[in-house]
């Protein structure tokens, strides 16, 4: 592991490395999007190259697709795969029930479709992503461009009746232009500070005309793999109620992905 990597990046790496151990030859695997998921894709690419791992990867964004293909991972569409053995992805926040906020990278629509088409979803994260209550990270809503300002107004009016602390909404930008998702949509970021009832909020937001999907993942994640900068890993399985402690030898992977240093 390159010495100049920060403790946070090392934590992301070890969580991704440990989660990649769940993948076996012959599996159809959902490949997440984001900085932690990129480590996981590189770990799988290394196994494809060195160990002969054979999988079919279903990426959740064009960025992930390009990375996976560059590493020799066979990439197929969800329609081609039909159903997946597991999906491995990051999260912006998660709580004790393994409810998540995702979408910081703007790919939560594809991520949710892929994750719900999987037997299991494994989340990889650093310890800072765990929270007592969701909401400190802005909740993204993917909305169609047509009438987005009207949609924004409807969202703000609806939030008045929700169990949230803040109600500020903002159109996500990419420089001077609105951010555009892979589906050609925009994203509204909801700065809620605290979400008292994530399940209710998710259902209500998706009923607003113009909203395509929100970034709350409820009853989707099965396992969370949390990495630490010193190589320690915690694996929490919500279905079995178990927490396992493991470690990844950082020195063993000193030269792995050295180009990212």
The single residue of 9, 46, 93, 111 carrying the catalytic annotation is 111
215 among the known binding-site residues? no
Mean pLDDT of the chain: 95
Consult the annotation and say whether 90 binds a ligand: yes
Q: pLDDT of 114-141, one tens digit each?
A: 999 999 999 999 999 999 999 999 999 9
Q: What HEC string does the chain produce?
A: CCCCCCHHHHHHHHHHHHHHCCCCCCCEEEECCCHHHHHHHHHHHHHHHHHCCCCEEEECCHHHHHHHHHCCCEECCHHHHCCEEEEEECCCEECCCCCEECCCCCCHHHHHHHHHCEEEEEEEEEHHHECCCCCCCCEEEEECCCCHHHHHHHHHHHHCCCCECCCEEEECEECCEECCCCCCCEEEEEECCCECCHHHHHHHHCCCCCEEEECEECCCCCEEEEECCCCEEEEEECCCCEEEEEECCCHHHCCCCHHHC
- The answer on whether 105 is annotated among ligand-binding residues is yes
Fold assignment, 7-130+219-260: Rossmann fold (3.40.50)
In the prediction, which pLDDT does 253 show?
Answer: 66
Contact 108, 213 (CB under 8 A): yes
pTM for the model: 0.94
pLDDT tens digits along 190-249 = 999 999 999 999 999 999 999 999 999 999 999 999 999 999 999 999 989 999 999 998
Let me know if 111 is a catalytic residue.
yes
pLDDT at position 160 over 90: yes
End-to-end C-alpha distance for the chain, whole angstroms: 8
Q: Mean pLDDT throughout 40-48?
A: 97
pLDDT value of residue 3 = 55
Domain boundaries, given as residue ranges, for the chain: 7-130+219-260, 139-215
Spell out the residues 6+ positions from residue 223 whose beta carbon is closer than 8 angstroms to its own.
22, 120, 121, 122, 123, 235, 236, 237, 238
Whether 152 has a binding-site annotation, put simply, is no
Give domain 139-215's CATH number out of 3.30.70.260, 3.90.320.10, 3.65.10.10, 3.90.226.10.
3.30.70.260
- What local confidence, expressed as pLDDT, does residue 64 receive? 98
Asked if residue 182 belongs to a known ligand binding site, the reply is no
């Amino acid at each position: 592991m390159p010495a100049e990597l920060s403790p946070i990046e090392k934590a992301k790496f070890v969580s991704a490395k440990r989660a990649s151990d769940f993948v076996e030859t012959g599996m159809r695997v959902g490949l997440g999007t984001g900085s932690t998921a990129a480590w996981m894709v590189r770990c799988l690419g290394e196994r494809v190259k060195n160990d002969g791992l054979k999988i079919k990867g279903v990426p959740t964004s064009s960025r992930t697709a390009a990375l996976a293909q560059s590493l020799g991972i066979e990439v197929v569409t969800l329609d081609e795969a039909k159903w997946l053995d597991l999906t491995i992805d990051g999260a912006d926040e998660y709580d004790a029930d393994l409810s998540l906020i995702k979408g910081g990278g703007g790919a939560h629509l594809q991520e949710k479709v892929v994750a719900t088409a999987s037997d299991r979803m494994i989340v990889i994260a650093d310890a800072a992503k765990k929270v007592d209550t969701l909401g400190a990270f802005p909740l993204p809503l993917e909305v169609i461009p047509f009438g987005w300002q009207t949609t924004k107004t409807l969202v703000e009016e609806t939030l008045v009746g929700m169990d949230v602390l803040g109600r500020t909404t903002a159109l996500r930008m990419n420089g001077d232009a609105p951010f555009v998702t892979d589906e050609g949509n925009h994203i509204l970021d909801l700065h809620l500070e605290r979400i008292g009832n994530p399940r209710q909020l998710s259902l209500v937001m998706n009923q607003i005309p113009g909203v395509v999907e929100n970034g709350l993942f409820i009853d989707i994640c099965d396992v969370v793999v949390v990495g630490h900068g010193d190589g320690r890993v915690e694996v929490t399985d919500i279905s079995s109620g178990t927490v396992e402690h493991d470690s990844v030898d950082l020195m063993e992977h000193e030269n792995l992905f050295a180009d990212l240093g």
